[in-house]
Amino acid sequence: MWQIFQNGGPVMYPLLACSVIVLTIIIERFFFWARISYDRDQRLLDEVLELSQNGQWEAVRDKVTHTRDYVIRILVTGILHREFSMAKAMESAANDEVKKMRQYMKVMDTMITVAPLLGIFGTVLGIISSFEMLGAAGIEHPELVTGGIAQALITTASGLGIAILTVFPYNYFNSRVEEATLAIEKYATSLEIVYEKLSSPECAEPDTATPSTGQARS
């Protein structure tokens, strides 16, 4: 491997940096999503929605004190700001959560594009060097040219390899973000519907100042 790396020329060094960056991001994102999956608490989420249906907001706050479920955190943000704008509060909290989920994704997207271009750039430099050797040594030594071209193609293969191996985890992480976004929208909408129902006039408490039947007759 070290011999192949050396034969690839100076462009192999930025390609090595790209591969290290991509590998680091992939490992970090896998641990991030593993932690997200571990922190999900569907039972507690169902309890929060059930308590919300009865308007037991304080009970919800007590229940979710130590939770790390991102969906529950977003719902609680909406509950805390329900008297002002529940929807906007949850939207802001959801944007923060999705931003964390999309962290480093632009870097991976950039590497998918840059790595093959670096590989082609290295190949072009290698071919130029080969033709320079051909001009210096003459046609009597074609092995110098073919050997140089073969070495130059190493950078293209390396760049394509980095891009191909990055595409799969990149698409996987994107799918996880989309799934999380759908889950947030689903439960946030459910909470908004519950709150609107509780706030409707039909669900309001009867007016205690209304006179009783006996008082009306008198």
The pLDDT score that the predictor gives to residue 210 is: 44
pTM for the full predicted model: 0.79
Closest CA relative to residue 121, chosen from 8, 7, 2: 8
Sequence-separated (6 or more) residues with CB below 8 Å from residue 163: 111, 112, 113, 115, 116
Sequence-separated (6 or more) residues with CB below 8 Å from residue 74: 90, 93, 94, 97, 184, 187, 188
Beta carbons of 45 and 69 less than 8 angstroms apart: yes
Judge whether residue 122 has pLDDT over 60: yes
DSSP H/E element including 66 = none
Structure confidence by residue, pLDDT tens digits, 135-173: 665 556 666 666 667 677 888 889 999 999 999 999 999
- For 67, how many CA atoms within 13 A lie in the half-sphere containing its CB? 24
Rounded to the nearest 10 degrees, what angle do helices 142-199 and 70-80 cross at? 40
d(CA 87, CA 214): 45
Q: How confident is the model at residue 207 (pLDDT cuts 50, 70, 90)?
A: very low
Judge whether residue 218 has pLDDT over 80: no
The pLDDT score that the predictor gives to residue 140 is: 60
Structure confidence by residue, pLDDT tens digits, 15-31: 999 999 999 999 999 99
